[in-house]
Structure 1
């Protein structure tokens, strides 16, 4: 793949005339190039085994995607493909435009006065991320971006039924460690798709015209607000780095415990230092430093901290503030200045291989097993 990525990608995509999403691309590679990546049968068998007992076939997928993403031409085409709306979202779009409502399973989306409110309701695991949530989130983001009546997006966690947090909202507990321990977290459909799919769409827009010369632009952009209740752990904290406005309850906290678990915190290593500076970023990522909403450093993560009972009003104020066409243009240019598409692609190439290898490291199996036994699907809670 290091030497032949362009040739391989050209064969699989009919010289970039046939866009294939991550799972489709690796499936086509398994069919066309014997032994390059695991077969569907091998992966189906792997999914039945706990993480510590798997054979590590996904490392070959990491090698494959590193090669594709490292190529300027193939990688750029794959990034564009993943910025395109999903077939599921397109199938639901007319109904959402008409009704302004969609219950996707673990995510509910509702349009209210020009704002799309996305509510995460993965209640059984305190809104921890799993394969289903990644699919539901990308679908919801697509719907919000493609509906012309939506001008601002809002993401918030739903009200929990868990005894410890009953009747309280929770933003996100990060990756579902129980699912990871039991082998139900997919490298392609979770670890790569969340970064190249909905999170990248939040940052760089949804691609609506594949023509590189499309006028006036190829992508749809909208401002996004995150409302943090209780905590934003791991992947939940990573999400905040791509939002235009973050409002937090004063009893919330933020943490990135991926190093303690043995894995890489998504694109947190790429984005956190831009917000906090290198020293604090290292303390958070390498040392597990937790930041409370009332800490002085919290103003580097969130824009406004209010009492928990005032969060609804703060969200509405933020919606009114960002409901402005000039905001859309300026946030697009800010994001382009902060994170070039080419730089993102090169980072993702290395991330694909490093994360695939960490997923099967011995220390990860040990740590995840311990976290899972201690706290079920939760992590990092006081």
Structure 2
């Protein structure tokens, strides 16, 4: 079923339709054609395999730790169990988001060289999704770039050449995902009623779902704005969602900047979204021995505006030497990225929630 709907707005009437919080579950038939032939058992494990994994979680598993005495934290409330056999289980109650992550990991591992953990199984039991994957040892990027004297990780500080190499590796991963998106659009177009032209992607989670990104899924938001229930057909619709989201803060300068972006996109050419991780923040990049060993947390995988690519990196506090290295590799943030970094920071401001 197509999740597209109209978000046409009048300049003086920026009001979206009702948007329920629950995201739809991605069905196997929607992604089967894009995944490798041997992926079926991963997403349809036998009852015996599932029982074995659940038994391990009950008997031998321990809480996954980033370092001794430091459990892995999740802003989404997911839990992590270390099966102590080289595998970990990620358990979450946003089943659609976690299953999207599993599909994305299998897809990206099979069709690119982007480093991601291998998925062994993914299933839903008792309303909770379980993602069983390889454990990958490494430090989150923001810990690896710690300044001298910055605590227990100071020994892991990346020298400037190594930091640039890591950033270029991330740049290569972005390029691979962009190219993958072009191939997927062509494949989807060919599969749709014999078409040979690429299918135009919509702004939303892969393959064609409303965004599952935590920035769009917020229980604190006003009723009807907790999450999109539709994909966005254009960049103007993407901006319109955020204008409605921040409408009660129209006096904030960031709102005026966003309105200007929306007005420009309304009259401009039709910009296509790009396939990307969606939250390439330093916490989701594991490094070891001066190289990226894994990119994690793919529940945000989807089609976004080009400027969204580096949002997570620009929003992260970082030493000046790190910011300089990022600008050297990627250039500075675009105007659009700067506006959205400021807007997303408002979501973490208690007064923003209270005012709502």
Calculate the TM-score normalised by the size of structure 2.
0.30
Task: Give the structure with the higher percent helix.
Answer: 1
Calculate the TM-score normalised by the size of structure 1.
0.28
Higher relative contact order by CA 8 Å / sep ≥ 6: 1 or 2? 2
